Structure 1
Amino acid sequence: MLFRELTNPQVILKPTCEVSSPIGYDPETKLSKLDAKKPSQAQLDKLKVKKAWEFATSPAKSIPMNLIMSYMTGNSLQMIPMMMTFMLLWSPLAAIFNDTNRGFEPFATERNRHELILPKLVFILCHVASILIGVWKLDKMGIIPHKEADWMDWKVPATIAEKLSVSF
């Protein structure tokens, strides 16, 4: 190789070769940017309502996991079951009050605002189901008073007919 070839290289192009199209390719189906149509406002509203439904049912996906975790943590009054039960009650309440309107804002337009009422209700019902799992867990732990023995202060005590005492 000469020094001149290193300092002034000449690019030699190879003759072009024809590459065949892949199997199934049809050049007639290719769309240009001018041929592509922008979706109509009605189609966008329909898509936004569909996405709103996906957002509304997303809390329901955690319900089976919450049920399994509630069952697996046991019914004893220890730190882990208490924290989990607190989160089962607090997180859905916070989501209902904070995320219901804010979460559906990206999907709302003037035309489809009335169509978002049902997804909002489903969103709230899914969170209420999570709260009910927490209440069920509190019941299994014995924290919710619902038996007669829990209300002994208001009940007239039964009179004891006999007493048996043994002294040593």
Structure 2
Amino acid sequence: MQVSPSGQQKIGKRKEKWTLDLSMRRGEQRNDLPSPPGYLTEKLPAAEVAAANEGSHLDLVDKRSWDIALAPIKGLPMNIFIMYMAGNTISIFPIMMVGMMFFRPIQALMGIRATTRMLERSKQYILQTLVYFLGNCLALGLAVYKCNSMGLLPTYTSDWLAFADPVQSMEHVGGGFTL
């Protein structure tokens, strides 16, 4: 098939100036180009293909399982930066940040059963589950530390004075002249 500059097909032997023929004739082969790297002309046996696919599948499952298990730990540097940027003042933005730092790890720990179902196919299931649990506990500890640095945790005795018994005085002084 020949295409002219106007887009119309030309039938016949005459070629226009801007004609491009991309079709190959029957029986023609182009052997002047080398095969791409990694190209094999012969077929692989089915057993080799199945073994290679199974090995690569297990490697992918392990890699994905470790990505899931390490996700809470990978989020810690970002949380530290957000804590630094929020500051120690009591206002709406830092309170929202601390609330989210509490909520996300608690939500992840509540849904740990669903997460561990995804990790069950891995060979290192128990270790990955432990790493996931410890990463969420570290994130929760970071949120508690931020609450303490903001003064939201009752850590001093003066924070509990409402529950303390009043001090009984041993002596009473009364009277006297005013000058």
TM (norm. structure 1) is 0.69
How many Å apart are 1:67 and its aligned residue?
A: 0.8
After superposition, the Cα gap between the structure-2 partners of 1:82 and 1:30, relative to the gap in structure 1 and judged at 3 Å, is: same
Instruction: Find the structure with the greater CA-based Rg.
Output: 2
Query: 1:103-155, CA deviations, whole angstroms, 9 ceiling, x for partnerless residues?
Result: 3434424xx57x31221111011011111111011101111001121122316
Structure 1 segments unaligned to the other structure (5+ residues): 1-5, 162-168
Output aligned runs, 1:1-168, within 5 Å. Answer: 8-9=11-12, 18-21=31-34, 30=40, 32-35=42-45, 36-39=48-51, 43=55, 44-45=57-58, 47-98=60-111, 100-109=112-121, 115-153=124-162, 154=164, 157=167
Q: CA RMSD in A?
A: 3.6
Amino acid at match of 2:71: S
Query: Within 1, Cα distance between the matches of 2:71 and 2:44?
Result: 38
Greater relative CO, 1 or 2 (CA 8 Å, sep 6+): 1
- Whether contact under 8 Å (1:52, 1:104) holds in the other structure is no
CA distance in 2, matches of 1:80, 1:124: 28
Question: Contact 1:48/1:108 (CA < 8 Å) preserved in 2?
Answer: no
Letter in 1 for 2:155: H
Structure number with the higher helix fraction is: 1
> Structure 2 CA distance, aligned partners of 1:86 and 1:13?
68
Aligned residues: 149
SS of equivalent to 1:72: helix
Structure 2: unaligned runs, 5 residues or longer: 1-8, 14-20, 172-179
TM-score norm. by structure 2 comes to 0.65
Identity %, equivalent residues:
22
Letter in 2 for 1:56: A
